[in-house]
Amino acid sequence: MSERLIDLEETATQTGPKGVINDWRRFKLESMDQENLNPAKRELLRQMSSPSKVKDTSRGNLNRKMSVQEYELLKEEDEGCLKSYRKRCMQEMHDKLSFGPRFEGVYDLDNGEAFLEVIEKEHHSTVVVVHIYKNGIKGCEALNSCLDCLATEYPTVKFCKIDAVASGAAERFSDEYLPTLLVYKAGELLGNFLSCTQHLNEEFFATDVEGFLNSYGLLPEKEQPQMEDDEENNIE
């Protein structure tokens, strides 16, 4: 195993202009091929990435501007390295700002007990959207397809569906009130939309359902798509 070049306490991402420069310098050092790197360049990168380790520990040295020699070195292969650095910073920021679990697809609820559990026991920050449907009722199948699409675009929202009969509340959710959308957060009912397709066009799509829910402020901000790995891998 290769020797660690930077102490653990120094690897944390820094903030502020000077901190960002030093963090970038460390990333540059770690991302370069150490074995095939010219010894002089390796030493220069080491000093750049850890200014507190060099012999001159004066305040002027620690806060110094980037030298011409450093600039020329950093220019080498910077396009690909900058993309990787930016992706790492964005991922760190996303991890800090993301709270609660993430989900994949629409969850089938088998019975009323599962319905109550997802409402009462889900993470307090999670928005839960439940579609109560019945096979053969107009709009139910189309709404299920729309939720499949929305589930991929809103991974922090838990989308669920349950057959009205399986829910144990078939009398309450009779055919005339289907499809129904219920929206919960922290066990609290935020939206109760009986026969919700009456608010949509006869032919509707995922964007229409998304717009309808957003009109009530029920969906979180949509996540920005991450940079394609393949695009970065093409940068040499």
- Structure confidence by residue, pLDDT tens digits, 92-138: 666 555 567 889 899 999 999 999 999 999 999 999 999 999 999 99
Residues 6 or more apart from 187 whose CB is under 8 A from it? 119, 120
Q: CB–CB of 129/158 below 8 Å?
A: yes
- pTM above threshold 0.85: no
pLDDT digits (tens, 9 = 90+) for 26-85: 666 566 555 565 666 666 666 655 555 544 544 444 445 556 655 665 555 556 666 777
Lowest-confidence pick of 147-161, 170-184, 217-231: 217-231
| 222 vs 119, residue with greater confidence | 119
Residue 106 C-alpha from the chain's centroid: 18
Q: CB–CB of 198/208 below 8 Å?
A: no
Q: CB–CB of 158/126 below 8 Å?
A: yes
Alpha-carbon distance 177 to 188, whole Å?
21
pLDDT digits (tens, 9 = 90+) for 155-175: 999 999 999 998 888 888 899
Domains belonging to the chain, first-starting first, are 1-51+81-97 (no CATH), 107-216 (3.40.30.10)
- Pick the closest to residue 41 from 61, 49, 19 (CA basis): 49
